[in-house]
């Protein structure tokens, strides 16, 4: 696994117009439930979107977390991450809105994309 590969392969676009269109408004429970099926295994847990990823070993977990950190920095939206031997758990919400927004779903989409491309 080469760190920085996600950036070099352009697995997630840096689309400033798309970012401007995002509302950053707290979504209702109904809006969240309508969008969750489009994600790859994420679920609503309290006021956050949550997903647990499983890996073969610690190094794969660490490599994944490092790729997620690149995505988060690029998006300027940072999930809470817990990881250890063979797993990584991610939680995301828009803290200044007090819940899940379209920004969180955009981040989830980017994480799903890198997960499929690098770890499938």
Domains of the chain: 43-120 (3.30.1360.20)
The whole-number pLDDT of residue 118 equals: 86
Beta strands in the chain (DSSP E): 43-45, 48-54, 80-84, 87-92
For all residues of the chain together, what is the average pLDDT?
86
* Other Cβ atoms within 10 Å of 118 Cβ, number: 17
Q: pLDDT of 60-78, one tens digit each?
A: 999 999 999 999 999 999 9
Rounded to two decimals, what is the model's pTM? 0.80
């Amino acid at each position: 696994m080469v760190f920085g590969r996600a950036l070099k392969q352009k697995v997630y676009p840096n689309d400033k117009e798309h970012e401007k269109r995002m509302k950053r408004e707290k979504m209702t429970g109904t809006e969240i439930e309508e969008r969750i099926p489009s994600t790859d295994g994420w679920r609503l847990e309290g006021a956050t979107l949550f997903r647990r990823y499983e890996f073969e070993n610690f190094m794969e977990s660490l490599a994944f977390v490092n790729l997620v950190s690149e995505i988060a920095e690029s998006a300027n939206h940072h999930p809470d991450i817990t990881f250890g031997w063979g797993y990584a758990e991610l939680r995301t919400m828009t803290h200044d809105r007090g819940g899940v927004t379209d920004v969180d779903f955009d981040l989830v989409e980017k994480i799903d994309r890198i997960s499929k491309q690098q770890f499938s």
